[in-house]
Amino acid sequence: MEQEMILCIPGPWASRSEFLGAIITTEPSGEFIFAGGILTHAREKDFVLLTYEDSDPRMSEAFRVAGQGKISEATLQEIDSHAGVAYLHFPIDLPGQRERVIKFTDVVRRAGGIAIKVESSGVAHQWDRWSYLLTGEEFDLYCSVCLLVGDETHFYSCGMHHFGAPECSVPSQMDVHSAADLINQFNLFQIVDRPRLATGHTFSTDSDSPSFRLALEEDQRHEPDDLFHNPHGLWVLTPRE
* Per-residue model confidence as pLDDT tens digits over 81-137: 999 999 999 999 999 999 999 999 999 999 999 999 999 999 999 999 999 999 999
Res. 69: pLDDT tops 60: yes
Q: Which amino acid is at 59?
A: M
Strand order across the beta sheet in which 202-203 lies: 147-150, 154-158, 167-171, 234-239, 212-217, 202-203
- Displacement of CA 137 from its chain's centroid (Å): 16
As to burial, measured by CB atoms within 10 angstroms (0-12 exposed, 13-18 middle, 19+ buried), residue 152 is: exposed
Ordered by start, the domain boundaries in the chain are 4-138, 147-239
1 pLDDT above the threshold of 60: no
- Nearest one of 61, 59, 122 to 85, comparing CA atoms: 59
Confidence at residue 135, expressed as pLDDT on a 0 to 100 scale: 97
Please report the sign of the dihedral spanned by the C-alpha atoms of residue 158, residue 123, residue 211, residue 166.
positive
69 CB-near residues (< 8 Å, 6+ apart): none
The predicted pLDDT at position 194 comes to 96
The band of 202, judged by pLDDT with boundaries at 50, 70 and 90, is very high
Q: What pLDDT, on the 0 to 100 scale, is given for residue 152?
A: 86
DSSP reduced 3-state for 236: strand
Kindly state the average pLDDT of the residues 208-217: 93
**What pLDDT is stored for residue 206 in this prediction?**
87
CA dist 121 and 159 (Å) reads: 5
Q: What pairs with residue 53 in β-bridges?
A: 85
240 pLDDT band, cuts 50/70/90, is confident
Arithmetic mean of pLDDT over the chain: 96
Spatial distance between the Cα atoms of 154 and 176, rounded to a whole number of angstroms: 10
- Rounded distance between C-alpha atoms, residue 79 and residue 202, angstroms: 45
Residues 14, 57: Cα–Cα separation, whole Å: 14
How many whole angstroms from its chain centre is CA 20? 25
Strands of the sheet containing 84-91, edge to edge, are 32-35, 38-41, 46-54, 84-91, 4-11, 116-118, 123-125
Taking 80 as the threshold, does the pLDDT of residue 241 lie above it? no
pTM beyond cutoff 0.85: yes
Radius of gyration of the chain (CA): 19
pLDDT value of position 209: 84
- For 103, phi then psi, to 5°, come to -65, -50
Distances (CA, A) of 239 to 80, 166, 209, 213, 214: 44, 19, 11, 6, 9
Q: Which has the minimum average pLDDT: 2-6, 117-121, 204-208, 225-229?
A: 204-208
Summarize pLDDT for 30-66 with one digit per residue, the tens.
999 999 999 999 999 999 999 999 999 999 999 999 9
* Beta strands 38-41; 32-35: pairing state: antiparallel
